[in-house]
Amino acid sequence: MAYFSQQLINGLVLGSIYGLIAIGYTMVYGIVGMINFAHGDIFMIGGFVALITFLILVSIGLTFVPVILLLVLLVAMAMTALYGWSVERIAYRPLRHSFRLAPMLSAIGMSFALTNFAQVAQGARVKPVPPIVTGGYSLFERDGFVVQLSNIQIIVVITTLVLLALFTWLVSRTRLGRDMRACEQDQTMAALLGVDVDRTISMTFVIGAALAAVAGMMYLLYYGLVDFFMGFVAGIKAFTAAVLGGIGSLPGAMLGGLSIGLIETMWSAYFSVEYKDVAAFSILIVVLIFLPTGLLGRPEVEKV
């Protein structure tokens, strides 16, 4: 029971990171109807920006950890949001009214461009960082196994819950959220009713990129490293989470992220770690066979 509890904690933390990235996928798909395949690399850029900002702040003599974390978070969100805005302007807006495969191919091109940009700019080696947030709590012990809950795990989960609540409120209660929902239903009609469609879509990319930056920072704090290729793997997992939870649903994206994190962690703990990805994708296939729209997805109604 103690070992299971520890893996449950680990899975929820990993799933929270996947969920933050998956929200960006599902927001863009809900409005544009396309998958932003560069979103995983935006997450990677967020991790690098967080690392560089942390090193700069330490080098100028700042040592108070809460202030450092706050500044790193703000800078990472701002810089990564700029990358998200650039992806929309370069890869999506010029091709928005083209055939449906064109923006997807353009986004894949942006993904390769960002990956190679990070490799050339920062090098191909893994960039480690010493533990920034230390300490934790021993919850209970059974059969000689102590269940640990670290402070960074608490930060990751609380940050994820707060951001999920914040952006759920933003989508459901604010003018921007109403504009997003209007564009999701019908962009032409939304424009006729006074919604600035271009601005709304750009803001969606910006918000999704800011969330990916938070996920990149959480990944850096939790695992203590970043590399230029991490966006591809995490992006595929987060995309899987968005599909599993129901593409287009914010709670579904988070539920899918938690599910993928738990599946990977539990499979690695009790079976062979080499097949954890096989287990995650196999369960995705089984779920989609019986629930084609995902766990919380809504069936699309074709307009005639």
Q: Which domains does the chain have, with CATH numbers?
A: 2-290 (1.10.3470)
pLDDT at 115 over 90: yes
Amino acid at 178: R
Q: What is the pLDDT of residue 10?
A: 93
In Å, what is the CA distance from 95 to each residue of 88, 111, 112, 247, 266? 10, 16, 18, 22, 42
* Interval 73-79 mean pLDDT: 94
Task: Answer yes or no: is pLDDT of 33 > 60.
Answer: yes
Residue 199: CA atoms inside 13 Å, Cβ hemisphere, count?
A: 9
Q: pLDDT exceeding 90 applies to what percent of the chain?
A: 41
pLDDT tens by residue, 244-274: 888 878 888 899 999 999 999 999 988 888 8
Cβ 106 vs Cβ 95: under 8 Å? yes
What DSSP character marks residue 98?
A: S
pLDDT at 258: 92
Which of 58-62, 99-103, 214-218 has the highest average model confidence (pLDDT)?
Answer: 214-218
pLDDT at 302: 53
Q: Which of 13-22, 149-158, 170-179, 222-231 has the lowest mean pLDDT?
A: 170-179
pLDDT digits (tens, 9 = 90+) for 283-297: 888 888 888 888 887
The mean predicted confidence, pLDDT, of the chain is 88
Q: What is the pLDDT of residue 301?
A: 55
Residue 31 has pLDDT above 90, yes or no: no
The percent of residues above 70 in pLDDT, for the chain, comes to 98
CA 144 to chain CA mean position, Å: 36
Tell me the pTM.
0.91
| pLDDT tens digits, 139-181 | 888 777 888 899 999 999 999 889 888 888 888 888 988 898 8
Contact of 159 with 21, CB cutoff 8 Å? no
